[in-house]
Amino acid sequence: MLLLVSSYFFYCYWDWRFSVLLLTSTVVDFYIGKLVHKTNDQKKRKQYLWGSLLVNLGILGFFKYFNFFVDSFQTVFGTQFDYLHLSIILPVGISFYTFQTLSYTIDIYNRKLEPTNNIIDFALFVSFFPQLVAGPIERAKNLLPQLTKKLSPTKVQVKEGVNLVVMGLFRKVLIGDTAGRFVDHIFNDLHSYNSVEILFAVLIFGIQIYADFSGYSKIARGVAKLLGVELMINFSQPYLSRNITEFWRRWHISLSTWLRDYLYIPLGGSRKGKSRTYINLMITMLLGGLWHGASWNFVIWGALHGVFLSVHKLYLNYRGKRIEPSNTFSFGDIPRIIATFGLVSFTWLFFRSTSWESTELIFSKITDFQFSEYTLLFFQILIAYYSLSFLLDFLEHKFGQNFLLKIKNRAFSYGVLTMMFVITLLYMFQADPLPFIYFQF
């Protein structure tokens, strides 16, 4: 009850009015989950499931996509619908908790989960504050059983929790925010910059969004550990991926697995022939792009990833190969890692651009390539950020996410953590931290 009240206080601190939406999704899915479980009538079970989908996706669609669809209809039909535009505030974290509560009902419908009888436990599962506003998107089978027990963090969890919070803050503030200031400065005034500077902004944005989002995920997991709760890992060194398929197994894992289990597989996955497989991939990634925001730029971003995934799958089928999960890297993997990173970086252009006009301007500036007097300086800055980011990823890959705790000399280990925390705080006192990027989704 204490955690539930704290979680709602946390959410209401932003805007108390939108806690009604959070409560609505909670109550609807709690009772629909029980109804779906009780009846064996398949027709009724489907009706209940559709009820959950309509309520949850209806709320999400209205608050996130209403004006987007109005604008799209205006463009397609050439009719003015300005009077339909509403001043709608996007509730923070609505995409995350909507997917989380939907997974509960769908799992019960698929008989993979039994409903909880305690609405307090379920309400806490939906609103658990560390991961409420930006994930990871947890499954009930992992999180709910933990919340039904008396939470008592172990010494190991406390150590790992502190380590994750510090590492997350360091990534978000010292890497993500500082990189973000370059990105914002250039993207907010594209006309004043030339090819090298805009290309630099696109490439450094890849570092910003990774440091920002993976930093948040670490903080969320760390805070949860301090409460005795284990959340799933959301990132696994995605920029070390050797192909685009592997990238989506390492990037925003909670979303990619959600889309796989609740969209791609129900559509038929790869079970209905090759053509249908590629169509299913495209639908999944298009909707995955739209999940990120009400903008055609996000749809294009998702479409590009859908095309890349389809081409890679086509190549594997042609060669008669399958991707086997592997955490071992060799020198020969470097060209593939660079190529994959290049493809991902190209798609970030659409993700960061605020409008199609901005995207066209970026392309025109890059294609009409011109060097800058600051080319060398920008290159040095880029190398510095990439080196630090890849060094942290390499250490996590080699020794695990709590690699600092594995140093035998505890004084040295705790000293490094303290130093990182103090440096982060000093920077935060000097400059206001930028908002977490994924708060807007």
Catalytic residues: 292
Q: CA-to-CA distance for 307 and 301, rounded, in angstroms?
A: 10
Q: CA-to-CA distance for 403 and 406, rounded, in angstroms?
A: 5
- On whether the CB atoms of residues 305 and 285 are closer than 8 A, the answer is yes
Q: CA-to-CA distance for 164 and 183, rounded, in angstroms?
A: 26
Total residue count of the chain as it appears in this document:
441
Q: CA-to-CA distance for 302 and 296, rounded, in angstroms?
A: 10
DSSP-H helix ranges across 117-192: 119-127, 129-132, 140-147, 155-169, 178-187
User: Which residues have C-beta within 8 Å of that of residue 201, sequence separation ≥ 6?
Assistant: 182, 183, 186, 187, 193
CA distances from 79 to 65, 74, 75, 355 (A): 19, 5, 7, 21
- On whether the CB atoms of residues 285 and 306 are closer than 8 A, the answer is yes
Q: Would you call 398 exposed, middle or buried from its count of C-beta atoms within 10 A (0-12, 13-18, 19+)?
A: exposed
DSSP per-residue string spanning 361-429: HHHHHHHS----TTHHHHHHHHHHHHHHHHHHHHHHHHH-TTGGGG-S-HHHHHHHHHHHHHHHHHHHH
DSSP SS3 for 251 = coil
Q: CA-to-CA distance for 146 and 228, rounded, in angstroms?
A: 8
Token readout for 424 is 């982060």
Q: CA-to-CA distance for 122 and 145, rounded, in angstroms?
A: 10
CA angle 16, 21, 27 (to 5 degrees): 120
Alpha-carbon torsion angle 101, 253, 131, 439, nearest 10: -100
DSSP per-residue string spanning 28-72: HHHHHHHHHHH---HHHHHHHHHHHHHHHHHHHHHHHHHHHHHHH
